Amino acid sequence: MPLLYYPYRFVQKVEENFSSNHFLKYKLLYTFKSSKSHQWYWVWVEVYESNFYAVKFHLKAHRHSDDKYNLLTGLNEVRPVINTCIMIMQDIYRTNSRASFGFIGANMQNESTVNTKRFRVYKRLMATYFKEKSFEHFFNIKKSTYLMISKKELEVNPKLLEELECEFSEMYSYFD
């Protein structure tokens, strides 16, 4: 059965001043419009050293909100929105077969960061669409984080998981 997703397009590569952090290289912005709600979504792909890509998405209308990743849209279009992100990830992987991916299943307002509802959904979908033939799957239930590390990249750098954990702990207090 084909993956139902919204047509998306690449918008731009954003190279901010990341001099304080050598690990984050740049960001990629993709966008798509829901044919159901007619709302626009933004997908941010943060590109890090070691071919690591962190995927984040939110409604364009929430772009100025500090809670943009925690808000529920109420539009009842979860599956095609996540599927669109999966298609973007698959495009990246087709371009870079050493690409690894990660994300946080952000907690909703009044929800703990432990084993969030979003994390449980993402975890199930990632295991379905990114097979263990190409990826090692790691997750941290306490922080609702999920990593899919390319087996090709692990061959080159067997300590990649530990390096990623260290770098993200230095960058974000969330991982303390």
Domain of residue 89: give its range: 8-171
Mean model confidence pLDDT for the chain: 91
For residue 10, the model assigns a pLDDT of 98
For residue 176, the model assigns a pLDDT of 56
For residue 74, the model assigns a pLDDT of 87
Cβ proximity of 157 and 163 under 8 Å: yes
Whether residue 14 lies inside any domain: the answer is: yes
The number of distinct structural domains making up the chain is 1
Helix (H, G, I), strand (E, B) or coil at 143: coil
Whether residue 2 lies inside any domain: the answer is: no
Tell me how far the alpha carbon of residue 77 is from its chain's centroid.
18
Whether residue 176 lies inside any domain: the answer is: no
| pLDDT tens-digit map of 162-173 | 998 888 777 765
| pLDDT tens-digit map of 98-132 | 999 999 999 998 999 999 999 999 999 998 899 88
Question: What is the C-alpha to C-alpha distance for residues 39 and 61, in angstroms, rounded to an integer?
Answer: 8
Cβ proximity of 8 and 31 under 8 Å: yes
Whether residue 1 lies inside any domain: the answer is: no
For residue 170, the model assigns a pLDDT of 79
For residue 175, the model assigns a pLDDT of 52
Cβ proximity of 50 and 164 under 8 Å: yes
Whether residue 3 lies inside any domain: the answer is: no
Residues of the chain with pLDDT under 50: none
pTM of the model: 0.91
